[in-house]
Amino acid sequence: MALIRNATENDIPRLLELYRQLSLDPSAEVHEPALEDCREALRAVSNLPDRELLVAEEDQQVVGTATLLITPSLVHGARPWAVVEHVVVEEKLRSRGIGRELMEYAVKKAGEAGCYKIMLCSNKKRKDAHRFYRSLGFAATHEGFHRYF
């Protein structure tokens, strides 16, 4: 069983390693942010209410991560909604329940906050991830759109 906790500055190098595993093109050029930029971003995330950069830890090693954001809303009875982003588990440790623990933690936190929904996006090419999210009760009900800058 993994320990789910909020990320600390000491976790940043490992988080960057995990995020590289999100790339669908291993030959793509990766622009690593400077460590100080990462520290500043983590401090900003930590200071935002209802936003958590989560890590899953086993044997004192970070083996997975996800970001949870809960945001206020004026719809659905003014209940908040949640989004999960940047979900990744160490490739060689997948299918062992670590991702499930991360996602169940996020779903529980969203439920406790009174959210009317929790959502996420997953690249259309990630068929294994889609099966995983469906097994957690998520449904592919919308077409997602992104615009990168």
pLDDT > 80? residue 120: yes
- H or E element: which one contains 76? none
Among residues of the chain, what percentage have pLDDT more than 90? 84
pLDDT > 70? residue 56: yes
Q: Is residue 142 part of a domain?
A: no
Q: Is residue 60 part of a domain?
A: yes
- Domain span at residue 84 reads 3-135
Kindly report, residue by residue over 24-33, the tens digit of the pLDDT: 776 666 678 8
Q: Is residue 146 part of a domain?
A: no
17: CB partners within 8 A, 6+ apart: none
114 or 31, greater pLDDT: 114
Check residue 145 and give its pLDDT.
87
Phi, psi of 44 (to 5 degrees): -65, -45
Q: Which CATH number characterizes residue 22's domain?
A: 3.40.630.30
Q: Which residues pair with 69 in a beta bridge?
A: 51, 83
- Give CA separation, 59 vs 29, 54, 133, in Å: 32, 16, 26
Q: How confident is the model at residue 75 (pLDDT cuts 50, 70, 90)?
A: very high
By the 10 Å C-beta count (0-12 exposed, 13-18 middle, 19+ buried), 87 is classed as buried
Q: Is residue 140 part of a domain?
A: no
Distance between CA atoms of 108 and 57, rounded to whole angstroms? 18
Report the pLDDT averaged over residues 135-147: 91
126 or 31, greater pLDDT: 126
Report the pLDDT averaged over residues 73-86: 97
Q: Is residue 113 part of a domain?
A: yes
Q: Is residue 102 part of a domain?
A: yes
Distance between CA atoms of 122 and 133, rounded to whole angstroms? 9
25 or 111, greater pLDDT: 111
The answer to whether residues 118 and 104 touch, using CB atoms and an 8 Å cutoff, is no
Q: Is residue 147 part of a domain?
A: no
Lowest mean pLDDT among 39-53, 56-70, 101-115: 39-53
The total number of structural domains that make up the chain = 1
Check residue 124 and give its pLDDT.
92
